[in-house]
Amino acid sequence: MESNFYLIGVGGQGVIRLGQIIADYGLKKGKKVKFFKEVGMAQRGGPVHCEIRIGNIFGSRIPPLSSDIVVVMELSEGLKSLEFIKPGGTIILNRKKIYPIDMMAYPGKYPQEEEIIRLIKEVKAKIIWIEAGKIASEAGLPIAENIVLLGALSFISLFDKESMMNMLRKHIPRELDKNIAAFNGGYKIVKRNNNMKII
């Protein structure tokens, strides 16, 4: 048994923090864990991605077609995850576009949403749309988009909610109430709108 999570976004969105919490959760459950992070130029608006593997695993990187869940924090970055999503796996799409600086400074083309969706459907992934920004704002902490997505991911993965709350307490002690509200916001919206269960 193995679970693979591929998280992607751009610098400043909290992709790595999200990964850390999931990896630590796996450790607390007594499982084998690998947590890979690509942060290169994250401070400077570069792409950021991380991979968490839990269970009977060896390599630190998710093999192609093996990711149970992909969390895409910035829409266009999701294109990079298509190699890894498992057919029938779930891709959680945060409705957010962040334009790179040079695209704003000079004419550049951001991919059409429909094109991205078409490709995701071709790799046979289920799509869950989440407006993490909106839910995080409702929770009183607009920056906590990653925690909203953690809530969504936790529901889909059937993570034990109480242990996950302990992880939140450990990793994000500041503004805990708002973070918990953000987590619950993500959790509930998936629970209400979807019945898909992966693990």
Partner 1 sequence: MKKLLTGNEAIAEGVIESGAEVVTGYPGTPSTEVILTLLPQEKELGIHIEWSVNEKVAFEIAAAAAWAGKRALVTMKMSGVNVAADSLASIAYSGCTGGLVIFVADDPGANAGMPEQDSRHYAKSMVVPMLDLASQQECLDYVKVAFDISEKIGGPVFLRSTTEIAHVASDVVLGEKLNIKREAHFERDIVKYTKAGAAWCMAQHQDTLNRLTEASKIAENYISESGIKINEIHIEAGSKCGVIYAGAVQGNFQEVLKRYNLKLSWLKIGMVHPLPEERIKEFLKNIDRVLILEELDPLIEAEVMRIAYLLNREVEILGKFDKTLSLIGNYSFKKIKNALEVLLKTKLESGQDPKILERAKKLEVKRPTSFCIGCPHRGTYFALNKAIKNLKYKKDEIIITGDIGCTILGMSKPFESCWTEVAMGASIGLAQGFKWAGIKKPVIATIGDSTFFHAGIPPLINAVYQKVPLTIIILDNGWTAMTGFEENPGTVNLNGVTNTRRVDIVEICQGCGIEDIQIIDPYQSKKATESIMKAIEYTGVSVIVSRRECALQAKRKKVKLAKRKVNIDKCTGCRICLSSLACPAMVFHPKDANNKAYMEITSACFGCGLCEFTCPFGAIEVIKDGK
For partner 1, which stretch binds (CB under 8 A), given 81-89, 136-144, 161-169, 183-191?
81-89
Q: In the 8-state DSSP scheme, what is residue 92?
A: E
Pick between residue 103 and residue 176 the one whose CB is nearest to partner 1: 103
Q: What is the DSSP string of 9-68?
A: EETTS-HHHHHHHHHHHHHHTT--EEEEEE-TTGGGT-EEEEEEEEES--SSSPPTT-EE
Interface residue with partner 1 among 104, 114, 162, 192 (CB under 8 A) is 104
Q: Does residue 33 bind partner 1 (CB under 8 A)?
A: yes
The string of DSSP codes covering 111-173 is PPHHHHHHHHHHTT-EEEEE-HHHHHHHTT-TTTHHHHHHHHHHHHTT--HHHHHHHHHHH--
**10 in contact with partner 1 (CB under 8 A):** yes
Kindly tell me which of 56 and 193 has the beta carbon lying closer to partner 1: 56
Binding marks (x or -) toward partner 1, 139..168, rule CB under 8 A? ------------------------------
Smaller CB separation from partner 1, 98 or 165: 98
Q: Which of 10, 149, 19, 150 is nearest to 77 (CA)?
A: 10
Q: Which of 17, 55, 65, 166 binds partner 1 (CB under 8 A)?
A: 65
Dist CA 1 CA 15 (whole Å): 25
Q: What is the DSSP letter of 110?
A: P
Nearest residue (CB) to partner 1, 171 versus 188? 171
Contact footprint for partner 1 (CB under 8 A): 10, 23-24, 27, 31-38, 40-41, 43-47, 56-61, 63-65, 76-77, 79-80, 82-83, 87, 99-106, 110-111, 115-116, 119, 122-123
